[in-house]
Structure 1
Amino acid sequence: MLKFLLPVVLLMKFKDDWKLVQVNLGLLSFLVGLSCFHNMYMCNLGFSLGMDYISYIMIYLSIWIMFLIIISSERVKFMKNFCGMFVLVNLILLFSLLVAFSSLNYLLFYISFEMSLIPTLILILGWGYQPERIQAGVYMLFYTLALSLPLLASLLYIYMSEYSLTMMLSNFILDLSWVNSLWYFSSVTAFLVKLPMYMFHLWLPKAHVEAPVAGSMILAGVLLKLGGYGLIRVLFMFQKISLNFSWLWVSVSLVGGVVISMLCLRQVDMKSLIAYSSVVHMSMVLCGLMIFSWWGLMGAVVVMVGHGLCSSGLFCLANMVYERVSSRSLLVSKGLLNFMPSMGLWWFLFSVGNMAAPPTLNLFGEINLIISLMSWSTLTILGLMFLSFFSAAYTLYMYSLSQHGIFLNTLYSCSSGKVREYLVLFLHWFPLNVLILNLNLVSGI
């Protein structure tokens, strides 16, 4: 694992050389891609770090998204807005994510899980847009910290009783009692907030709307996946209890997903709409993880990867519109097909990806999740039916309202898109649509 961590640490020294960091992150993602393996066993072990299949996918996604963030944030360099500091904060965030995804020790995972909060907060406060970014940062900090304290207490209790915090060694199959149920809820809530589950999601739209493009991309692309990954690692200790409560998580997620979908249909802020759609996708991921089926786990991992690429690309597009129009409102930035004609294709491609149409990874993942949920209970078809319909509805609403109509007469002509922007969008779209050709790479079939 050190061969991935050391280059990130060394790049922090050359934080002022923007091009060098860009190229080296690209090379690092290529190096991670070369170390792909096709089984579910641990590899690259050492220093309480290691990779299995799921953590490998998440590490690859983290480095890839960070590579794209540095390319898409050229405006920070152009405006000379503390660009060295910006690169340093992003590299520290990448380092904490790599440690989180590769740690074999629960305490190390918890520390790096919390450590990723600080660079994200700095990104929102330092390079965000409106004065409300302070409130958004505080929301994110307190939601995550308040509900991750019980997780720390739970981990210390595990250490006290098992004398080990190594993953896969502390294997609890607990009976259903109120103490054990309390212990289970305290272990799981930290990840539900990060995912975020409906009712714990209020920090996410605020953080997305106020964050710069780098903050939005890393939040949508990787940080939400920390919640899902943490659930995968923690839930197997509480199998008996979790099976008794799976009805609760599935029902809240499906009803919440439908409610948030309706909320998406009345959003005016482009970024806010994409952020709420993330909550809808993650509610399906939570359902897949909580019913303890192989199809559910496989579908959840594929949807996490697909959503990471698709949502990050949509935030990129929203930022490109914001840089030209200086507004994210769908009432101001409409008729973009006349204003930026060649960007219309990319809007269409990513909108299609967001509604899980073929040949995207989202389609394969959602088919898996639908099959696993219907095999668990046929009643879930009602929620899934509404979720599928509304996800298409709000995506079409976003696409048609932003691309069609008469554009505002206060807007002047501008560059339809730079090569750098097309490159970023292509590098989001290519893995999202091409990985479906090799599904055993993504899902570990």
Structure 2
Amino acid sequence: MMMKFILYLMFMMPLSFLNKFSLIQFYLFFGSYIFMILGKLNYQWNNLSYYMGYDLLSFGMILLSFWICSMMYLSSWMIYNKNLYSKLFIFLILILMLFLFLTFSVKDLLMFYLFFECSLIPVLFLIMGWGLQLDRIQASMYLLFYTIFASLPLLLMIFYIYLNFYTLSFIIFSEKLFFMTSIYLYIFMILAFLVKMPMFFVHLWLPKAHVEAPVSGSMILAGVMLKLGGYGLLRLLILLINLGNKYNFLLESINLVGGLMISLICLFQIDLKSLVAYSSVSHMSLLMCGMFTMLNWGVGGSFLLMISHGLCSSGLFCLVNIMYERLGSRSILINKGLINFMPSMSLWWFLLCSSNMSAPPSLNLLGEIMLINSVISWSWLSMYLIMFLLFFSASYSLYLYSFTQHGKLMMNLYSITQGYIREFLLLILHWIPLNLLILNNEMFILWK
């Protein structure tokens, strides 16, 4: 089955040179539905071949990739209308989707590393080619060098694992316990994933990349690329179980304090895109806290939050872009009084901001409950930091909503439309799975 989908994506590529924008978007949506129908959810590895296969974690991430990539076309209609190298743009997204599919479907660590690095290249071209300002070159370099410098130690560790354990298969990792003894091996193993997530201290590339990226680049960065780090950590945690019990308290402390500081930084932002980007770092900090407890609820909650954050953050970036197209600015000082200007869009601001602060019935709520439970059961002292982290997380979501919707409306408008059907469809397709997937929560809770 995996090979069918690879061929499906490859045969779509010639359509990009015919500039069939809507057709490829339809095929990607269709691909996500077919994958849902054909996928078996029995909590085991399915459709196994020598290098490929998927379990529940891979299934969720592949589905998220299909969903976000298809919505990247919906959000980037301006590129098609103005013909800003739209053929190349379509081709890059298809290449990116292919690399993401391969990354999540291989079960060999070396192949995973190869496609993990390859997925960086299309994102780099998206930022450099369709970025908005002159700083896009600097943002691209930040993204490239942070990722490459952190990834080289992981490659060395892959060779070390093969020389010592004679296997690189994820399936065998989950069936046997391989014990590593050195803290250097531990750091080298997880550094690439911590930068990708990103963890506080190695997060500086993310706000830069988001601010300079086009809306499609921001969507795929927030929706899927950050989750590559979480996916890699979830796959390799079993190798690090004895070292994790010794040293994870350091990472827990950094993430708890870092998440709190980033939440405070969000309250001082005046750039809407920058605020949403920093909120991603704050959510990822809580996710890593739960994951590094190595408890069942922490691991399940981190998987759940990866899916929910991918949908919520991507939707917020779409909203920011919708406002940017009309007002020509991302400043929170200019994007005011939007409830008078676009009352119907104000509803979607409220729905996505409330989901971002984990209000019911969003999937974020269940994910954060599971993560908080696991972190507090790991150490009750972390309760105080978690309490402030959640309070400020809700504060910046309210700040984002209230400052954009209320106040005096600026009159330097580029457009007076209430919103296109395409834009409402885009937001609906983010919000519905984000809030209805909670009805199928056993899919996330039972994954180990």
**Contact conserved, 1:335 with 1:404, CA < 8 A, in 2?**
yes
Match of 1:311 among 310, 313, 327: 313
- Structure 1 unaligned runs (5+)? none
How far does the alpha carbon of each residue in 1:107-148 deviate from its partner, in whole angstroms, 9 at most, with x for none?
A: 100000000110000000000100000000000000010011
**Contact conserved, 2:346 with 2:405, CA < 8 A, in 1?**
yes
**Contact conserved, 1:53 with 1:444, CA < 8 A, in 2?**
no
Question: For 2:53, what is the secondary structure of its paired residue?
Answer: strand
**Contact conserved, 2:326 with 2:414, CA < 8 A, in 1?**
no
Provide the C-alpha distance between the structure 2 equivalents of 1:412 and 1:14, rounded to a whole number of angstroms.
33
- Give the Å deviation of 1:234: 1.2
Change (3 A) 1:165 1:22: same
**Aligned: 1:130 with 2:142:** no
Aligned to 2:97: 94
How far does the alpha carbon of each residue in 1:157-200 deviate from its partner, in whole angstroms, 9 at most, with x for none?
A: 11122232222325554364xxx210111010000000000001
Provide the C-alpha distance between the structure 1 equivalents of 2:180 and 2:316, rounded to a whole number of angstroms.
45
Aligned to 1:280: 282
Provide the C-alpha distance between the structure 2 equivalents of 1:271 and 1:96, rounded to a whole number of angstroms.
26
Match of 2:258 among 256, 259, 269: 256
Provide the C-alpha distance between the structure 1 equivalents of 2:415 and 2:205, rounded to a whole number of angstroms.
36
- Give the Å deviation of 1:413: 5.5
Provide the C-alpha distance between the structure 2 equivalents of 1:413 and 1:115, rounded to a whole number of angstroms.
39
How far does the alpha carbon of each residue in 1:397-431 deviate from its partner, in whole angstroms, 9 at most, with x for none?
A: 11111110001133365111000000010000000
Q: CA RMSD in A?
A: 1.2
**Contact conserved, 2:300 with 2:445, CA < 8 A, in 1?**
yes
Q: Which moved more, 1:209-218 or 1:12-21?
A: 12-21
1:410-425 to 2 correspondence within 5 Å?
410-411=412-413, 414-425=416-427
Provide the C-alpha distance between the structure 2 equivalents of 1:379 and 1:36, rounded to a whole number of angstroms.
42
Change (3 A) 1:442 1:67: farther
Aligned to 2:328: 326
Query: Alignment identity in percent?
Result: 49
**Aligned: 1:401 with 2:403:** yes
- Give the Å deviation of 1:3: 1.9
Provide the C-alpha distance between the structure 2 equivalents of 1:231 and 1:175, rounded to a whole number of angstroms.
15
Provide the C-alpha distance between the structure 2 equivalents of 1:243 and 1:133, rounded to a whole number of angstroms.
41
Aligned to 1:49: 52
Provide the C-alpha distance between the structure 1 equivalents of 2:78 and 2:414, rounded to a whole number of angstroms.
20
**Aligned: 1:121 with 2:140:** no
How far does the alpha carbon of each residue in 1:293-314 deviate from its partner, in whole angstroms, 9 at most, with x for none?
A: 0000111011111100000000
Provide the C-alpha distance between the structure 2 equivalents of 1:112 and 1:412, rounded to a whole number of angstroms.
41
- Give the Å deviation of 1:441: 2.9
Provide the C-alpha distance between the structure 2 equivalents of 1:436 and 1:239, rounded to a whole number of angstroms.
30
Aligned to 1:219: 221
Counterpart AA for 1:403: Q
Aligned to 1:14: 15
Match of 1:159 among 136, 157, 162: 162
Provide the C-alpha distance between the structure 2 equivalents of 1:174 and 1:411, rounded to a whole number of angstroms.
61
Aligned to 1:5: 6
**Contact conserved, 1:435 with 1:442, CA < 8 A, in 2?**
no
Counterpart AA for 1:429: W
**Contact conserved, 2:40 with 2:46, CA < 8 A, in 1?**
no
How far does the alpha carbon of each residue in 1:314-338 deviate from its partner, in whole angstroms, 9 at most, with x for none?
A: 0000000011111000011111111
> TM-score, normalization: structure 1?
0.97
Provide the C-alpha distance between the structure 1 equivalents of 2:291 and 2:415, rounded to a whole number of angstroms.
48
Aligned to 1:112: 115
How far does the alpha carbon of each residue in 1:47-73 deviate from its partner, in whole angstroms, 9 at most, with x for none?
A: 401000111000000001111111111
Counterpart AA for 1:361: L
Aligned to 2:185: 183
Counterpart AA for 1:157: Y
- Structure 2 unaligned runs (5+)? none
Question: For 1:114, what is the secondary structure of its paired residue?
Answer: helix
Aligned to 1:23: 26
Change (3 A) 1:73 1:413: closer
Match of 1:174 among 169, 173, 179: 179
Aligned to 1:246: 248
Provide the C-alpha distance between the structure 2 equivalents of 1:35 and 1:286, rounded to a whole number of angstroms.
31
**Contact conserved, 2:361 with 2:438, CA < 8 A, in 1?**
yes
Counterpart AA for 1:74: W
- Give the Å deviation of 1:13: 1.1
Question: For 1:46, what is the secondary structure of its paired residue?
Answer: coil
**Contact conserved, 1:38 with 1:444, CA < 8 A, in 2?**
no
1:133-148 to 2 correspondence within 5 Å?
133-148=136-151
Aligned to 2:43: 40
Question: For 2:170, what is the secondary structure of its paired residue?
Answer: coil
**Contact conserved, 1:124 with 1:137, CA < 8 A, in 2?**
yes
Counterpart AA for 2:436: V
Question: For 1:334, what is the secondary structure of its paired residue?
Answer: coil
Provide the C-alpha distance between the structure 2 equivalents of 1:6 and 1:219, rounded to a whole number of angstroms.
25
